[in-house]
A and B are shown apart, each in its own frame.
Chain A
């Protein structure tokens, strides 16, 4: 009798465990797949030039050094100057894209969510039209457009392009947020003495801040990482952004693997920091969606 219950329990349990374990194995594999290259990147970046080229490779650097980082971050030598300029360019482009993106997407999404105006559906779907095509399809047309506008080799060309690509997603995401904020909250605020604008600023904006933060992260990362357009639109060395600039490093100092890895590591720092600081809101934005009453 006891035997029977035992075995039957074991039988009913086994499939669940099996699934759970295969899931865990899969996740561990995925984790290794994403983390190992980064670990290798960090390890290489603290090796000396010589150690990086050795075969068989040194798994752990024999004499770890921060010299590569020091060189990149030191504005007194030419490498440092160059790197810091790329870094600043990237930061400037990404931040401007993000700020303008939010300033445009917030009112646009709010209008799509709250107002019924002629052409609303048409406009909304035409906003999404861009996303139906791969980004590279627009490379030449946009380049011609930028040349015509005289924006080639300016950061403005990149900011405009990134906005074109980032805004639809931002607007779509934020509209979902506003849709989920009951209109009665604004009505209550207006009765309580707020103007329409005050109701938006004081009541709706704070409630949608997770969404605003999430969209900001999206557009910042998108602009920070973008390569193809930056490579096409910018040819002057002093205006290049990090992804393009680092690639130049790569060709100029052809074998400087540690230097390249250090630069790449530094490039990923802002994104990681941004994520860690704001991840609470980010997760909330993607899971909760909004406020439930």
Chain B
């Protein structure tokens, strides 16, 4: 059972707090993706789990063992580094054999395991080469192989695909996913590519500024972002967020923008909006939940098309509602031109409301 548990883990660099009281549990055999913008503390968190840097506070348990004071070598983990970190002066064979040699396996066993890993990863023909004689994709496989030979309890991967070109990345993504399905080893996977996270991970941990923002299944993170940061980070293109004001008109609750437009909320959304700490809320809507009308209809708000971006399958239109820009996805055949006046309809069942002060998602009371 290789469960990884982080309890209130803290890492300071001088006055800077790189990891701030992060607690999360990675279940046995789970594939967890650590996502977040650059500098949010993903690598630091992973290095703490690996034991490569000392912790400033908190506890880490791997497979029911407190590992705070254990050396990396005693934690039964394997790691794939962003720059692969292959030993440049060793052949591929020796790179793969190194972890086994360090664990004092017998020569024939080492040979068998290296050959098996090389076969699985389809790098048998490269065994005698040096890392610098390999392509990026091949190096990536070797790095993966060096982690696989030992069959560790936990795999740690730090952006293992980020140095590959787009096509290879997609291919390796599916291969990694298949490996995980076959091996069922616990994986903690750092990436800043949320598509990787969404497609591969059982759970997703979204970090920002050293804090763990949300930890949940990818579809839940997508459907119920806990705050404006997660809402604006997850999804491609991300959710449009517009600061608005809550106004009561008799029993009805309306949202009004400083730019003048306003629309009425459904009863449920009205409840949510009123639970905010002030009358300031942030309205969030994903591109697929918005509809464009050519003429004013009840409940729509007026805007002006800013940019039209066809991608083939869908066309994204950026629409200016006063000063804010929202993104709407459209059928590629939908006739639309820049600077055209349009009317945007919000789907009341799928819009998100966040507290304007705390930035947290508002829930129906």
Interface of A with B (CB < 8 Å)? 182, 184-185, 187-195, 198, 203, 206-207, 291, 293
CA distance A188 to B102 in the complex (A): 12
Inter-chain contact B50/A187, CB cutoff 8 Å: yes
Q: Which 10 A-B pairs have the closest CB atoms?
A: A193-B102, A192-B99, A184-B85, A188-B85, A190-B72, A193-B73, A191-B72, A184-B81, A187-B52, A191-B79
Which residues of B262-302 have CB atoms within 8 Å of chain A's CB atoms? none
Q: Is the CB of A293 within 8 A of B84?
A: yes
Contact partners of A182 in chain B: CB under 8 A: 83, 85
Closest chain B CB from A231 CB (angstroms): 44
A-B pairs with beta carbons under 8 Å apart, 30 shown = A182-B85, A184-B81, A185-B85, A187-B47, A187-B72, A187-B79, A187-B85, A188-B81, A188-B85, A188-B146, A189-B98, A189-B102, A190-B71, A191-B72, A191-B78, A192-B98, A192-B99, A192-B150, A193-B102, A193-B103, A194-B73, A203-B87, A206-B89, A207-B88, A207-B89, A291-B88, A291-B89, A293-B84, A293-B85, A293-B88
Q: Which of B71, B79, B103, B150 contacts A188 (CB 8 A)?
A: B79
0/1 per residue, B80-99, Cβ < 8 Å to A? Answer: 01111101110000000011
Residue of A nearest to B80 (CB): A188
Q: A206 vs B130: C-alpha distance in the bound complex, in angstroms?
A: 15
CB < 8 Å neighbour of A293 from B77, B83, B102: B83
The residues of A that contact B72 with a CB separation of less than 8 Å are 187, 190-191
CB atoms of A198 and B88 under 8 A apart: no
Interchain CA distance A187-B79 in the complex, whole Å: 9
Once bound together, how far apart are the Cα atoms of A187 and B50, in whole Å?
9
CB closest residue in chain B, given A184 = B85
Counting chain B CB atoms within 10 Å of each CB, which of A184, A192, A194 scores highest? Answer: A192
Q: Collect the chain A residues with CB atoms within 8 Å of residue B85's CB.
A: 182, 184-185, 187-188, 293
B102 touches A198 (CB 8 A): yes
CA distance in complex: A291, B84 (Å): 14
List, in ascending order, chain B residues with CB within 8 A of A198's CB.
102
Q: Which residues of A contact B79 (CB under 8 A)?
A: 187-188, 191
Q: Which B residues lie within 8 Å of A190 (CB)? A: 52, 71-73
Give the residue among B52, B73, B81, B84 with the most A Cβ atoms within 10 A. Answer: B73
Chain A residues with CB under 8 Å of B71's CB are: 190, 195
CB within 8 Å of A: which of B142-165? 146, 150
Report B48-80 CB contacts with A as 1/0, cut-off 8 Å.
Answer: 001010000000000000000001110001110
Q: Note all chain B residues with C-beta closer than 8 A to A207.
A: 88-89
Within the complex, the shortest CB–CB distance from A244 to chain B, in Å, comes to 42
Q: Which residue of A lies closest to B14 (CB)?
A: A116
CA distance A207 to B102 in the complex (A): 19
Are A191 and B103 in contact, with the CB atoms below 8 A? Answer: no
Residues of B within 8 A of A193 (CB): 73, 99, 102-103
Query: What distance in Å separates the Cβ of B140 from its nearest Cβ neighbour in chain A?
Result: 13
> What is the bound-complex CA distance between A198 and B98, given in angstroms?
12
| A191: contacting residue among B77, B83, B87, B89, CB under 8 A | B77
The reply to whether A192 and B81 contact each other, CB–CB distance below 8 Å, is no
Residues of A within 8 A of B50 (CB): 187, 191
| Chain B nearest Cβ from A190, distance in angstroms | 4
A192 to B77, CA, bound (A): 8
B99: A residues at CB distance < 8 A: 192-193
- Chain B residue at minimum C-beta to C-beta distance from A206: B89
Contacts of A194 in B (CB 8 A): 73, 102
Are B146 and A192 within 8 A (Cβ)?
A: yes
The reply to whether A192 and B88 contact each other, CB–CB distance below 8 Å, is: no
Give the Cβ gap from B154 to chain A, nearest Cβ, in Å.
11
C-alpha gap A194/B78 in the complex (Å)? 13
Interface centre among A189, A191, A195, A291 (most CB of B within 10 A): A191
Q: State A185–B71 Cα separation when bound (angstroms).
A: 16
Specify the chain B residue showing the minimal Cβ separation from A194: B102
In the assembled complex, how far is the CB of residue B71 from the closest CB belonging to chain A, in whole angstroms? 7
Instruction: Give A195 to B71 CA distance when docked, in angstroms.
Output: 8
Query: Within 8 Å CB of A188, what residues of B?
Result: 79, 81, 85, 87, 146
Give the complex CA separation of A193 and B77 in angstroms. 10
Closest chain-B Cβ to A265's Cβ sits at a distance in Å of 38
* Shortest distance from the beta carbon of A205 to any chain B beta carbon, whole Å: 10
Cα–Cα, bound, A188→B142 (Å): 13
Partner of A192, one of B47, B73, B83, B84: B73
Please judge, given known A-B contacts A193-B103, A198-B102, whether A184 and B73 are in contact too, CB under 8 Å.
no
Specify the chain A residue showing the minimal Cβ separation from B156.
A191
Cβ contact within 8 Å between A187 and B81? yes
Q: A10 → chain B, closest Cβ, in Å?
A: 43
| CB-nearest residue of chain B to A207 | B89
Contact assessment for A184 and B83 in the assembled complex, using a CB-CB cutoff below 8 Å: yes
Q: What is the CA–CA distance of A195 and B103 in the complex, to the nearest angstrom? A: 11
Give the distance to chain B from A177, nearest Cβ to Cβ, in Å.
13
Measured between alpha carbons, how far is A139 from B331 in the docked complex, in Å? Answer: 86
- What is the chain B residue whose CB lies nearest that of A181? B88
Question: A112 → chain B, closest Cβ, in Å?
Answer: 19
Q: Which residues of B contact A191 (CB under 8 A)?
A: 50, 52, 72-73, 77-79
Closest A residue to B53 by beta carbon equals A187
Expressed in whole angstroms, the minimum distance between the Cβ of A143 and any Cβ of chain B is 45
Q: How far is the CA of A98 from the CA of B77 in the complex (A)?
A: 41
A280 → chain B closest CB, angstroms? 15
Residue of B nearest to A198 (CB): B102
- Would you give the shortest CB distance from B17 to chain A, in whole angstroms? 17
